[in-house]
Structure 1
Amino acid sequence: MEFGQKPNQSRRLVGLAGVVIFHALLIWALVSGLARKAIEVLPAPIETKIIEEIKPPDEPPPPPPPTLDVPPPPFVPPPEINIATPPPQHAITVQSTQPTPPPQPVPAVKAPPSVSLKIDGKRCRAPEYPSVSQRLNEAGSVVLQLLVGTDGRVKDAKIVTSSGYPRLDEAARKGLSLCKFDAPSEPAWGTIKYTFRPED
C-alpha cells in the first residue's frame, strides 16, 4: 500500500457486507437449531387415568370353635356339722356318793444346803488378773455361788454380782472353780466374794 493514496471503498464495503451476511447466517442457524432442540426436549404430554381402588376379596368367617364335652363337677358331700345342744334345764344331775380321793402331794425338790466357803491359800490359787484389765485400770468385786461336791471340788459356778467388767467376772469364775474347799457331807452351794485391785 502506498502512502498518500485512498483505500478502495468498494473493497471495504464488500468485506463489511460479507461479515454482516456471515453473522446473519450464523444467528439464523443458531436460532433455528435451538428452537428445534427446545421442541425435542419438551416431554410428551402425560395421560392420567383414575384407577378404582381394588378391594381385597372378603375373607370367609372363621370356623366356629369346637364344642368340648365338659364333664360335670364332682359331687362333694357337705360336711356334717354336729351342734352340741345344752341339756334341758329340768334334767336331773346324778352325783356319786363316793368321796373324791385327795390329790397326791407333789414331792418337793430338795435344794442343796448352803455352806460358807473360805479361800485357803494352800489349796486355792488366786484368780489371774487379766493383763488387759490391768492396763485399763479395771477393778471391782465379783460375788459367785459355787456348788461344792463331797470331794471338796467345785461342780458348778454362777455369777451373783458382777464387777462391772465381763473380763474380771470370767477370770474370777474360772480361777475359783479350780479351788478345793472343805468337803461337805453332801453337795452344797456356797457364796464367795473376790476383789480385783490394780497393782501399785
Structure 2
Amino acid sequence: MEFGKRQDPKKRVIGISGVVIFHILLVYGLVNGLARKAIELLPAPIETKILDEVKTDEAPPPPPPPPKLDIPPPPFVPPPEINIASAPAPTNTITASNKPAPPAPPKPATGVTRAPVVKAKLCREPDYPAVSERLGETGSVTLQLLVGVDGKVTDSKVQTSSGFERLDKAAQAALSRCKFEPGSVDGKPSPAWAQLKYTFRKQK
C-alpha cells in the first residue's frame, strides 16, 4: 500500500451511492413488511342482522270439554200426612156488664155570634207608595184580619190582590195596626176573622 496517493473520486461516489441505495431498500422492505403484518393482524368486521319475530296466527287449542257425570235422582220422600180437625162453630154469647155507658159528646154551643166591626175610616189611611204613584199603579186589595178580644189585629193575609205587590203590602202594613170592635159569642168578646177592602186611587 502506498501512502500519499489520493483515491479516485469516482470510486468514492460509487461507494457512497451503493450505501445509500442499500439503506433505502432496507427501509422500504421494513416498512412494507410491517404494514402487511398490521393489515393481516386486523380482524374482519362482524356483520349482524336483526331477524323479525315470526308471528303465528294459530289460536291455542280449545280446552277439553268437562267430563259428563251421571247425577243420581233425588231420593223419594213421601209427603207428610196432615189431619185437619174441624173446629166447632162459634156461638154468639152476650155477657152482661155493670159498666155505665160512655157519656154523649157535648153539643156545640148555640149562642149568638157577632162578627167584629172593621171600618177603614177608623184607621189611618195607608201611605201611597211613591214608586206606585209615579208608575200610575192603582187597584183594590181585600184583606183578611184576625181581630182579637182587645180589638187589635193579631194576624192578617191578602185575600184578593190589587195586582201590585207594593200596594198589597202597604195596605196590609197600615190596616194591621188598626183597632176595631171585636166580635163576641153570647155577649163575650171572642177573636174572629173579618174582611176589609181598600182601594188605591190616583191622587189629584
Q: Please tell me whether the aligned partners of residues 117 and 190 of structure 1 are also in contact (alpha carbons under 8 angstroms).
A: yes
Q: Distance in 2 between matches of 1:131 and 1:110?
A: 49
The match for 2:20 is 19
How far residue 194 of structure 1 moved from its aligned partner, in angstroms, is 0.6
Structure 1: how far apart are the matches of 2:140 and 2:116? Answer: 20
State TM-score, norm by structure 1.
Answer: 0.52
Distance 2:153 2:170 in 1: 15
Distance 1:136 1:171 in 2: 16
Displacement of 1:23 after TM fit? 0.6
User: Per-residue deviation at 1:88?
Assistant: 3.8
Alignment of 1:1-200 (within 5 A): 10=11, 13-30=14-31, 34=34, 88=87, 90-96=89-95, 101=101, 104-105=104-105, 108=108, 113-120=114-121, 123-182=122-181, 184-185=183-184, 186-187=189-190, 188-199=192-203
- Identity, % of aligned pairs? 41
Cα deviation, 1:146-184, whole Å, max 9, x if unaligned, reads 233454433332322122333322221221122233455
Instruction: State the secondary structure of the residue aligned to 1:117.
Output: coil
SS at match of 2:123: coil
What code does the residue aligned with 1:17 have?
A: G
Q: Would the aligned equivalents of 1:137 and 1:198 in 2 still touch at CA under 8 Å?
A: yes
The answer for the alignment partner of 1:70 in structure 2 is: none
Distance 1:153 1:167 in 2: 24
Paired residues of 1:113 and 1:189 also in contact (CA < 8 A): no
The CA deviation string for residues 60-106 of structure 1, in whole angstroms up to 9 with x for no partner, is xxxxxxxxxxxxxxxxxxxxxxxxxxx94512121346799477325
- CA separation of 1:14/1:164 partners in 2, compared to 1, >3 Å: closer, same or farther? same
What secondary structure, in the 3-state scheme, does the structure 2 residue paired with 1:178 have?
coil
What count of residue pairs does the alignment treat as equivalent?
146
Q: Pick closer, same or farther for the CA change 1:156–1:18 going to 2, 3 Å.
A: closer
The structure 1 segments of at least 4 consecutive aligned residues displaced by more than 6 Å after TM superposition are 109-112
Answer yes or no: is the 8 Å Cα contact 2:171–2:198 preserved in 1: yes
Judged with a 3 Å threshold, the aligned counterparts in structure 2 of structure 1 residues 158 and 22 are, in CA distance, closer, same or farther, namely closer
Q: Is the 8 A contact 2:117 2:183 kept in 1?
A: no
Structure 2 residues without counterparts, runs of 5 or longer: 1-8, 43-85
**C-alpha contact 1:116 1:191 (8 A) present in aligned 2:** no
